[in-house]
Structures are given as structure tokens and as C-alpha cells.
Structure 1
Amino acid sequence: MSVDVLIGEILTLSIMAFALGMDAFSVGLGMGMAKLRNSQMLQIGVIIGLFHVIMPLFGMMAGQFLSGALGALAGYIGGALLLVLGIQMIAASFNKDGEQIISPDGFGLFIFAVGVSLDSFSVGLSLGLYGTRPFLTICLFGLFSMVLTWAGLFLGRKVQAWLGAYSEALGGAILLSFGLKLLLPI
């Protein structure tokens, strides 16, 4: 394989990884408006990055016959999870205790990561058909989603500092609208 073909494949996969990572950026932006410690933000980015490695790898391994059926289902499941998380954040912003139903650690972080990486599974199914290099693909997907999650989290934190108490409601609204976008493609 020539260097030009390899560079073309890396560029194409990087663009795809960036596009998939924008989900993670959007969710990170919303989550960053909640009060999170730096260690939590680091952990969230790493876990979401790992799920963007695992999910497309499973997708590539699953093969062609599931691609059509699971593609739409993955979007609906991810949208529903984001809806629940958005509503939860909005409700928590009005709750004086600040108690969250789902928090971005432990099992809650697992739910966030699965919700944001389900579309990577579908893309992995498609990429498996075209014979892309699995190692290169999953490394780029993981790297882009991790970095974009961190960017969203840190930008969300800045917005939270500007908006104060209203920032968590805004973050919830962002997650809610992103969930609606996945559920009701317009």
C-alpha cells in the first residue's frame, strides 16, 4: 500500500472520528456545566474514549447482517439516554439539595459512555465491511472522542462559571435537545 493511500485513509478516518466525537463534545459541554472535579473530568474523557474504542471494534466484529437494523436502534437508545440525563440535570438544577438521579461516576458514567458511543457501534459495522484497518480506526475514534469530551467538559465549566446556578439547567437543556435530535431526525 502506498503512502498516499495510507494518508488518505488516516485523513478519512480522522474526519469520521471527529464527526463521531462531536457527540462526545456536546455531551461533555452539557455535563461540564454541572460541578465536576478535575479528576472526574479526566475520568469521563478516558471512559468515553475507551467506549469509542470498544463499540466500533464490536461493531466491526459483528458484521454486515446487523448493520441496517441496529443502526437506527442505536440512535434511538442513545437519544433516549440523553433525554433522561437532560431531564435529570434540569430537575437537579431546581432541587435545592442538588441530588442527581444519575451522576457521572460509577454506573452513571457507564450510562453516559454507552449513550454517547452507540453510534460508533453502527459506524464500526459499516467500516468492517470496507476492510479498514481496525487498530488505526479504533485508536483514532478513541483519541478524538476523548479529546473532544475534555474540550466540551472544560468549555462547559467556563460557561458554568459565567451562568452560575442556571448553568446546570442549560447543560440539561443541551443534553435534552441533543437527545431529541437523535430521536426525531429532522
Structure 2
Amino acid sequence: MPVYQLGEMVSLVFMAFALGMDAFSISLGMGMQQIRLKRIAIAGLVVGFFHTVMPFTGIVLGSFISTQIGHYAELSGGLLLVAIGAQMIFSAFNYETKKLVQPVGLGLIFFAFSVSLDSFSVGLSLGLSNGKTVIALILFAAASTFLTWAGMLMGKKVYGLLGAYSEILGGSILVGFGLHILFS
């Protein structure tokens, strides 16, 4: 393997982990909701799937629309994370309120979509490149799946340590990450 190809592979691995880190951060907060291991496994797989579909969609659409849609995708993702986090914080104070967003059903789709929006923008910038597109998509899916699992499992452990306060911490993480997306 020539040195330039090795450099491209290393770049793709780092890019995959960078894209998966938002899934890790948000999963840390979501994992504090006392989620069963089966749900954690399913959530990781769904996030991995979205981290494959979103950049592929971006690649297919091409760089023609990247300047117009890329900003709106990040904006909507940031707003969605702030809303989910705020709802978690408010539900921690109001025990009668049913949890609105959990990584189940439609909540799982929103969760996976929100953490995968930045990979759409990366897909737009990748463009159509021979076989590296497939490798990039596989790396994106693997890294995001693994990091989602790690975040949710760590969140589950933190919940055991912090009890009811962990939902406030988890919501704060989501709000903070959403605000970071909005203002960076």
C-alpha cells in the first residue's frame, strides 16, 4: 500500500471517529435514562445505519448544494438537541411528565438523525471518489455504532452513581452540545 493511500486511510479513520464523537456525547446523556441493554444495542445499530445513509445521501446530492443545505442541517440538528435536552431536564423536575424522547421508535429515529446530520455535510464534501467512498461509509458506521454503545453504557453507569440527578446531567449534555453546534 503506497504511503499516500495509507495517509488517506488514516484520515478516514480519524474523520469517522470525529463524526462518531457527537453520537458518543449525546449517547452519554441518553444512556442516563435507564435504558435496557437490548435498546442500547438497537440504538447503536440505528445510529450506525444513519451514519451510513446520511453521508451517502450527501455524496449523491453532490457539492452543488453543500453551501445551502449544510448550514441548515447543522442548525436544525442543534435546535433538535437543545429541545431534547431541555425536555429531559424539565422531566427530571416534573415526575408526572412522561418522557417525551427516548431512544425507542420515533424517538430513536430523531436521535439517530440528529447525531448524523454532520455526516451529511461531510458526505457533501467527500464527493464521488472511487472505492474510498465505500470504505468511508463502512468506517463511519462502525465508529458511530461503537461510540454510541460506549456512550450509552457509560451513561448507564453514571446513572447508577448519580441517581435522579443524572437525567439533569444528561439533559445538560444534550443542551450544551446543541448550543455548541448552533454557535460554532
- Does the alignment pair 1:119 with 2:105? no
Which residue in 2 is equivalent to 1:69? 68
Cα deviation digits, residues 7-42 of structure 1 (max 9, x gap): 222111000011110000001101011110001111
Which residue in 2 is equivalent to 1:144? 143
- Does the alignment pair 1:161 with 2:141? no
- Does the alignment pair 1:32 with 2:40? no
Which residue in 2 is equivalent to 1:100? 99
In the alignment, the residues of structure 2 paired with residue 139 and residue 98 of structure 1 have an alpha-carbon distance, to the nearest angstrom, of 39
Q: Compute the TM-score of the two structures, normalised by the length of structure 2.
A: 0.95
Cα pair 1:63 1:128 within 8 Å, conserved: yes
Query: What is the aligned length?
Result: 184
Amino acid at match of 1:6: Q
Which residue in 1 is equivalent to 2:3? 4
Gaps of 5+ in 2: none
Q: Mean Cα displacement is larger for which, 93-102 or 128-137? A: 128-137
Q: Mean Cα displacement is larger for which, 33-42 or 127-136? A: 127-136
Cα deviation digits, residues 53-87 of structure 1 (max 9, x gap): 00000111111111111221111011011011101
Gaps of 5+ in 1: none
Q: Compute the TM-score of the two structures, normalised by the length of structure 1.
A: 0.94
Cα pair 1:64 1:129 within 8 Å, conserved: no
Q: Mean Cα displacement is larger for which, 77-86 or 122-131? A: 122-131
**1:128 Cα shift?**
0.9
The secondary structure found in structure 2 opposite 1:81 is helix
Amino acid at match of 2:137: I
Q: Mean Cα displacement is larger for which, 65-74 or 160-169? A: 65-74
Amino acid at match of 2:24: F
- Does the alignment pair 1:133 with 2:132? yes
The secondary structure found in structure 1 opposite 2:127 is helix
- Does the alignment pair 1:45 with 2:48? no
Q: Mean Cα displacement is larger for which, 146-155 or 91-100? A: 91-100
Residues 183 and 131 of structure 1, relative CA distance in 2, 3 Å threshold: farther
